[in-house]
Structure 1
Amino acid sequence: MADIDAGLLYHLPLAEIEKVMFYKRDEVTSDLICCDVKIAGKTWMFHEALGGWDLLIAHLSGLPGFRSDALATISQPPFAASETVAFRR
């Protein structure tokens, strides 16, 4: 996947997002924080190593009732499976 930019975020209008879920993947020596965004029956998958990750988080933070603590919730303990729904319509 290409980096996250305004052009990509255009395809994720807040009014149409159905669900946002954060989870982490064990990458052997580190965890990779991931985010799935469900919109119009399609799931867009992102991860923190992509350029523009901060733009995605800022965009999703505009959702009503978005759980701003979601990233902190899944980050600990390291290497343990963890996921949380940050938004659901």
Structure 2
Amino acid sequence: MTITPAILAQLPLTDIDAVIFYKLDEITTDLICCDVVIAGRVWTFHEEAKGWNDLTAHLSALPGFRADWYEAVVKPSFEATKTVAFDRR
């Protein structure tokens, strides 16, 4: 999956209800993922997708967005973590 400007346009900041980051243990590495919730629909992205940095920059403009989400998700390694970076609900 590529996170294109067209996809970002479908994620208007005013419509986003929640942003949750988490990681999946893939045995030798962790994969950081992000769920964006809009009107009950969940959009799922991961850090290996082209455009990931554009997505995180877009989401960071949300009011009250948790800037330390990355540090909260990555530690400790190989353990499930879930971090709510934004919740309008």
**TM-score bucket of the superposed structures, by smaller chain:** over 0.9
TM-score (norm 2): 0.97
Match of 1:42 in 2: 41
The structural deviation recorded for 1:52 is: 0.4
After superposing on structure 2, the runs of 4+ consecutive aligned residues of structure 1 that deviate more than 6 Å are none
Corresponding residue number in structure 2 for 1:9: 8
> Displacement, 1:72?
1.1
Matched, 1:64 2:37: no
Aligned residues: 88
Give 2:20's aligned residue: 21
TM-superposed CA distance for 1:32, in Å, is 0.1
Identity %: 55
Aligned residue type for 1:31: D
Structure 1 segments unaligned to the other structure (5+ residues): none
SS of equivalent residue, structure 1 residue 43: strand
Find the aligned partners of 1:11 and 1:40 in 2 and give their Cα distance: 12
Q: Give the alignment's Cα RMSD to 1 decimal.
A: 0.5
TM-score by length of 1: 0.97
Where does the alignment leave 5 or more consecutive residues of structure 2 unmatched?
none
